[in-house]
Structure 1
Amino acid sequence: MKLTLVLLALVGCVAAFSVPTPKVKIADKNFLEKQKFLLEITYRIEDPLMFEEWIKFGTKFIYDKSFYSEYDYYMEKFYESYKLGALLPKGEFFGALVKTHMKQAYGLFNFFYYAKDWETFVSNVAWARIHVNEGMFIYALTLAVIHKPEFQGLILPQIYEIFPQYFFNSKFVYEAEKFDYEVFSKLTMYEKEYKDILYKDYSKFTGNFYFYTKDWKTFQWYKMMGLDQEWYVEDKYFLRENYASFVNDPKYADVMKGLKSFYYPVDYTRDIEFFNDQSKLSYFTEDLGWNAYWYYLNMDYAFFLDGKKFGLDKDRRGEWWIYNVQQILARYYQERLANGFGEIPEFFWYKQIEYGYDPQLIYYNGVGYSYRKNYYDFYTYGNFEMFSKIQNFFGKVYKFLETGYYKTADGQVIDFHKPESVKFIGNYLQGNADTYDKYFFNFYYMYSHMYFADVDYNDMDVFPNVFLNYETMLRDPFFYTFYKKFTDVFYQFKYFLGPYTQKDLFYEGVTIKDVTVSKLVTYYDIVDFDVTNLLNDKMTFVDGQFVWDKALLARQARLNHKPFEFEFTIESTQAQKGVVRVFLGPKFDEYGQVIPLNYNRKNFVQIDSFVYPFVAGVNTFKRSSKEFSWTSEDRITYTELYKYVMLASEGKYDFPLDISEPHNAFPDRLVLPKGWEQGMPMQFYYFVSPYAEEYEQFSTFDYTYASGVGSGTRFVDSKPFGYPFDRQIDEYDFFVPNGFFQDVKIYYVDTFAKYFEKKYPKFGTFDYSIEY
């Protein structure tokens, strides 16, 4: 069985292929007790804590300095705010990028992080679960579980399982919270509407369709496929692409025994052009995995954490962060092309934002998220002082890039026309704690998000806005427009470094002779997301032990692709190791014109990288999309994870410390853009570079259950991220034998089309034989 453990979000830079695989460890009793605590303390987070075992630990807040390895300013301020009753109240909106909220969250995190022992940690976590704002509590706890060295291997549920409200529209949240599993009458309530619409012959009016579809609702669409006839999941597994790996586990039946699972349909793939044409991309921008990836990246490298203290500087935190921004924009642009759109709109300081956005989200306290109307003018409605600070930041960065140097407040001079200065640029753009001029750079990033969310410097009571939390901001098309400003600065820095010469790129003795790729096919499949935290019913305890006997699922259609495979033919004159990088990029723009390579380099996404031991002669080997080192398939759900932990606690299961499903890896299913039915032209680029033997990054770290955040061991080599597309391209020098371009097409297959055809022989029945 695969388990989702700690973190590994490496966008094609982790050399998992080259890592020796140590024997997977089995969790002992002590580990299982800790894991059980973390799963129970986050259950139904907006409800009162119901676990008596943990309530008794939460009666007192431990603030005595002797219980902590360090006691800093933020801890003192948090405790002072608590004594004065000035903490963000429970039930209020928490924004990780609201300055007042962040400072309190930082203090709470430090109380968790610097606790000398598990008992102190448990007491403070239980106390905070009872007394502290729910969003702030989860934010601080997640940071602690990720970064506290003693917690390697321990995990929390996925963020979309803890807070489904951040990821599913308000209609679904309302329905889920009203759900009554004992008096389940939804089917009878809708039966008449089903029959009136679905079972009458309207072919003389609608041509190929024999039912009326104009006013369809989501549940009616699912009814056609037989996916909500009784809303009770009769199957022994949850729907997902890799369900076979679960149902084939002999222990899975024991885990699921006695569990009643109910699902409700929620959809982003039909009838969504209600606000503007950008809504056509909502299946991508509102994808749970897409948004969770950005969230966990910013938890790994939280901007306010000190790089030296947490080891983040060893991971090239700033460079890694801005590289991820560039890759996210490139991947978004590919999806735009698949839907007929062109360039990501530019951001202008004094120009209206053409495309508005309505997130349709509701916070767990019942307050809806603010929306932005079409042709919105940020400048008119914002805080002018804050606006000027943000604008001045970009002006100042451009100025010292042009002059080539910058003198920090402490007198240090930085040469910004040298490659190693990339760390300074990355740190400045993220606005993290490692910037050399903290007075000027530290808070610009936070201020920009506060400004666009209409939040003032000292506001505590804040209206919900998607721009204030990492897990929601990628939903808004404006995110990509504004973040282009960040990558523009990054490209400007790279411009002054000049293109790579042929000598820089040439790998003597290595020639890529050919690469063949299997057919690239995308489609929509159906997945069940665990939203049991939304259940609004009583909890059952037997002999003091919680009985998890029901699960609520959100059944959703989402983009996926069929597995594909590369076959490499690479010639080497001698036995040597090389780093193979694989990139995917567009071929043409929205008008069908070839995009010049020097410009198009910004649109390539690195989908894989690995170390390969070449032998002298011709090397032929295969690499499957299932082997990509930075992606993962669907993860084990909250419900299943808890039940596995409990089974292991009873001595009936060996719980593996296995990182095969890291919870911040990029979703495998989003590697390819949607494509077209007739085939969308794209291109792969393959590049082999020397492997530096002195870069022995895997010598001391155990990769079976931890990802190495802050260890300096995460990347395949020390090359710049995105190499060789990270600099300007001189086409006279770029084409070398160890690089290889290949034209491909991505085909979209409508797997749901048959349900709309009169000839479909099993109307009202879902075809479970579909290849996930």
Structure 2
Amino acid sequence: MRFWVLLSLFFINIYFEVLGNGIGNPYFLEKQRFLLEILHHVQEPLMNDQWRLLGEQLVTDKDQYVVFNDHMVKFFNAFNLGNLLPRKEYYNPLYADHYQQTLGLYHFFYNTRDWYTLWQNICWARVHINPGIFVHALTQVLFKREDYQALIMPKVYEIWPEIYHDEKTISKARKFNFANWIRFENASDIREIIPQRVEPQSLMGDLRSSLEWFQAMSDVNILRIKQQKKRNKIQYLLEDIGWQSYWYNLNVGIVLSDDNSYHLQEWWYYKLNQILARYKLELYSQKLPYKKLTPVKFFTKGRKQLKEEFPKTSKKLIKYLEKLERKVADAISFKSFHLPNGSFINLEAENNWLIGLEQLFPYDCTQLTIKESIQPELLPDIRTLLRSENFYFYADRILNLYRWYRQVFSPSNHTLYIPSDLRIEDLRISPLITYDQPVDVDLSNVLHAKHFYLAGQFVWPFTLQERQMRLQHKDFRYNLQVSSNKTQSTIFRVFLTTSERGSIQREPFYQLDSFLRVLYPGLNKISRESKEFGGLIGDHISYTELHQFVKLAEREEFDFPLNISTPNCGFPSRLILPRGGNGNPVRMRLLILATVYDFKARQGNELNCDFAKGVSRWDELPLAFPFDRFLEDDTQSMEISGDHVFWKDVEILHEEHNA
């Protein structure tokens, strides 16, 4: 207890020292610039002489830490014995050894008493430790230490561009020579942007439309490379960097969480269900099979360094699923579970079913862990997991087992939440329109480090952006009309699903919106804007721009705002609608569901990947309600039909960019 009190007081003091009135002061700016520069070209040897000297030794004086635990002892011993992962080896936090090494370094960062100890440890790790372990541990610290949460971490696809872009683009960027490019009068498909303009223009804080933006970027040549390939019907979603990084950050945040509660497990499986439902809606909109997913055969997607998955990996994962299916079937048949210590528990006694749930369904990606592979694969790497089409096949089977188990053992009080004395009369919605939006993605971290050092000093003379087209939608709104016979607090949930009228078990339901509203006697008119939907994030400034704004602020020519970053665990707001139809709209349905509010709402900080306070929820209903279990015919009338439910047919159109 004393440890947490000391750490909390330390956080509070640093918070007021660094954050002040919402504008970054010199202490904050120094830390922010250091963070951006230490992560620059993290895959290459550190070229800053000052930091190399500072990083010669890890701080091992126990007095410099709030606590010095066994994870730190084991990590330091492994380093002295030369047993840590070499710098150039492939890193994957799902591998047990890699995870333990990450955990040890994380504690050497997290438990430091002051910034100067952390600073030295970061420099040491940057010099001596595998870049993957270094970035992963540092990311965790910025997620979880309150005094450093204001610091902005570059997005994972800006730190590791080589993982998120095709091989041809990465090869061109690595071979790019700025001097030769100028000498031969830009004779390549890399062009300088004149006038300076980076897409999209609309960002958090509106910085790209400010005069300060031109001032900050005045000394930077902005270069752009065209996208190298045209993606197929589904790849534009799977290869979307926002789609991939969302799931990466969510799992990074959850993996070292101190909260091992049932609620966190439930939240993870709810998010997995959301990802799967959204993917299936995309398949449906593109007229691809979606009801029963099948594994994709092994192949390479234009990236020699990243395989879909090796046949050996596929076999292991299929065996894992078959073993899990047998375990769940046995648990349901015998109403008991065999614990790792050899004892049996009665799953129908008290809350023992929760113990079985925890044992059967780990709430992170550890169930996909395999023995270490020499080469990277898409599927067993949380940075690229969502790019693997097979991931959705495995997720579908796991979620079906999860719902089956919960249906049998989880007590159901759903009917208590069905409201009375209200009726959803109507819903009207503005046009749903998607379009392709141009966007520039920062590739600067894959350029050769020699371009960024002049006389031993770090500089940022130019940036390379890749022009891409991504899915976007126009803002929309919907209006509800709800009649009530009394004053009552009500929660509304809005789902998007297909236009199929068949078995409800086979259709995906993606939750677009949920909100609380007080209803009064009579007709209540409720209006909701798509930009109000919770859990969503917009765009942010790039790695290059962030660094230049910090430099401008250090020259006291700009007040650096502390609210310009986007939460890492927020879902991209532009991806909530599947791609519409050109000419012929995609027909879908909305399901609006009202439930009684039980005044047990909780507010967490999960959007920032910090689970110290748990996760947010409206009530005690399962987060995936009413689809947390299989809805049988005899329960459909109670849960998804009646006056508290409304179905609405909708259409989604797609416009060309120049429309």
TM normalised by structure 2 equals 0.87
Matched with 2:387 is 475
1:717, distance to aligned residue in structure 2 (A): 3.1
Identify if the C-alpha distance between structure 1 residues 63 and 666 changes in structure 2 by more than 3 Å, giving closer, same or farther: same
Matched with 2:12 is none
- Structure 2 runs not aligned, ≥5 long: 1-19
Note the alpha carbon deviations across 1:562-606, whole angstroms, 9 max, x for none: 111112222333444332222111122xxxxx3322443xx1011
Contact 2:278 2:510 in 1 (8 A): yes
SS of 1:527 mapped into structure 2: strand
| Residues 662-671 or 650-659, more deviating | 650-659
CA distance in 1, matches of 2:485, 2:426: 16
Contact 1:370 1:464 in 2 (8 A): yes
Q: Does 1:596 align with 2:503?
A: yes
Greater RCO, CA 8 A, separation 6+: 1
SS of 2:153 mapped into structure 1: coil
- Structure 1 runs not aligned, ≥5 long: 1-22, 192-218, 220-229, 273-279, 348-352, 363-367, 433-444, 451-455, 589-593, 752-766
Matched with 2:273 is 326
Q: Does 1:336 align with 2:283?
A: yes
Instruction: Give the counterpart of 1:295 among 229, 239, 248.
Output: 248
- Following superposition of structure 1 onto structure 2, how do residues 739-758 of structure 1 map, counting pairs within 5 Å? 739-751=645-657
Matched with 1:208 is none
Letter in 1 for 2:588: M
1:618, distance to aligned residue in structure 2 (A): 2.5
Instruction: Give the counterpart of 1:508 among 381, 402, 420.
Output: 420
Q: Does 1:256 align with 2:217?
A: yes
1:54, distance to aligned residue in structure 2 (A): 2.6
Contact 2:216 2:552 in 1 (8 A): yes
Contact 1:510 1:573 in 2 (8 A): yes
| Residues 337-346 or 175-184, more deviating | 337-346
Contact 2:227 2:466 in 1 (8 A): yes
CA distance in 1, matches of 2:291, 2:415: 34
CA distance in 1, matches of 2:162, 2:126: 18
CA distance in 2, matches of 1:628, 1:119: 41
Letter in 1 for 2:100: K
Contact 1:97 1:446 in 2 (8 A): yes
Q: How many residue pairs align between the two structures?
A: 633
Note the alpha carbon deviations across 1:295-344, whole angstroms, 9 max, x for none: 01101111xx3x5xx23538x22111112222111111111112221136
1:116, distance to aligned residue in structure 2 (A): 2.5
Q: Does 1:403 align with 2:337?
A: no
- Following superposition of structure 1 onto structure 2, how do residues 469-548 of structure 1 map, counting pairs within 5 Å? 469-496=381-408, 503-536=415-448, 538-539=450-451, 546-548=458-460
CA distance in 2, matches of 1:297, 1:624: 26
Letter in 2 for 1:551: T
TM normalised by structure 1 equals 0.75
1:475, distance to aligned residue in structure 2 (A): 1.2
Identity score, percent: 28
SS of 1:474 mapped into structure 2: helix
CA distance in 1, matches of 2:193, 2:360: 50
Note the alpha carbon deviations across 1:472-518, whole angstroms, 9 max, x for none: 12111111112222112112123325897883342123322222111
1:559, distance to aligned residue in structure 2 (A): 1.4
Q: Does 1:644 align with 2:604?
A: no
Instruction: Give the counterpart of 1:166 among 159, 163, 167.
Output: 163
Note the alpha carbon deviations across 1:438-488, whole angstroms, 9 max, x for none: xxxxxxx647442xxxxx4xx5x7212222321112111111112222112
SS of 1:656 mapped into structure 2: coil
Identify if the C-alpha distance between structure 1 residues 722 and 62 changes in structure 2 by more than 3 Å, giving closer, same or farther: same
Q: Does 1:115 align with 2:112?
A: yes
CA distance in 1, matches of 2:512, 2:318: 37
Contact 1:406 1:414 in 2 (8 A): yes
Contact 2:143 2:608 in 1 (8 A): no
CA distance in 2, matches of 1:648, 1:95: 37
Contact 1:269 1:557 in 2 (8 A): no
CA distance in 2, matches of 1:387, 1:598: 23
Contact 1:346 1:484 in 2 (8 A): yes
Q: Does 1:355 align with 2:297?
A: yes
CA distance in 2, matches of 1:470, 1:188: 41
Identify if the C-alpha distance between structure 1 residues 388 and 613 changes in structure 2 by more than 3 Å, giving closer, same or farther: closer
| Residues 137-146 or 113-122, more deviating | 113-122
CA distance in 2, matches of 1:693, 1:628: 21
Identify if the C-alpha distance between structure 1 residues 416 and 94 changes in structure 2 by more than 3 Å, giving closer, same or farther: farther
Instruction: Give the counterpart of 2:612 among 710, 719, 722.
Output: 710
Identify if the C-alpha distance between structure 1 residues 657 and 48 changes in structure 2 by more than 3 Å, giving closer, same or farther: same
1:419, distance to aligned residue in structure 2 (A): 8.8
Matched with 1:764 is none
Letter in 2 for 1:336: L
CA distance in 2, matches of 1:707, 1:104: 21
Note the alpha carbon deviations across 1:653-697, whole angstroms, 9 max, x for none: 3333327721221111111111322011111111222333354x3
Matched with 1:583 is 495
1:60, distance to aligned residue in structure 2 (A): 0.5
Identify if the C-alpha distance between structure 1 residues 56 and 370 changes in structure 2 by more than 3 Å, giving closer, same or farther: same
Letter in 2 for 1:557: M
Identify if the C-alpha distance between structure 1 residues 418 and 331 changes in structure 2 by more than 3 Å, giving closer, same or farther: farther
CA distance in 2, matches of 1:479, 1:725: 21
CA distance in 2, matches of 1:647, 1:294: 33
Contact 1:61 1:124 in 2 (8 A): yes
Identify if the C-alpha distance between structure 1 residues 72 and 549 changes in structure 2 by more than 3 Å, giving closer, same or farther: same
CA distance in 1, matches of 2:355, 2:228: 41
Letter in 2 for 1:535: L
1:250, distance to aligned residue in structure 2 (A): 3.9
CA distance in 2, matches of 1:427, 1:502: 25
Matched with 1:197 is none
Note the alpha carbon deviations across 1:234-284, whole angstroms, 9 max, x for none: 1333112625933333422222222211011225544x5xxxxxxx42111
SS of 1:664 mapped into structure 2: coil
Letter in 1 for 2:273: Q
Identify if the C-alpha distance between structure 1 residues 706 and 332 changes in structure 2 by more than 3 Å, giving closer, same or farther: closer
Identify if the C-alpha distance between structure 1 residues 78 and 635 changes in structure 2 by more than 3 Å, giving closer, same or farther: same
SS of 1:688 mapped into structure 2: strand
CA-atom RMSD in angstroms: 3.2
Matched with 1:65 is 62
Instruction: Give the counterpart of 1:282 among 235, 241, 246.
Output: 235
Contact 1:579 1:690 in 2 (8 A): yes
CA distance in 2, matches of 1:492, 1:702: 30
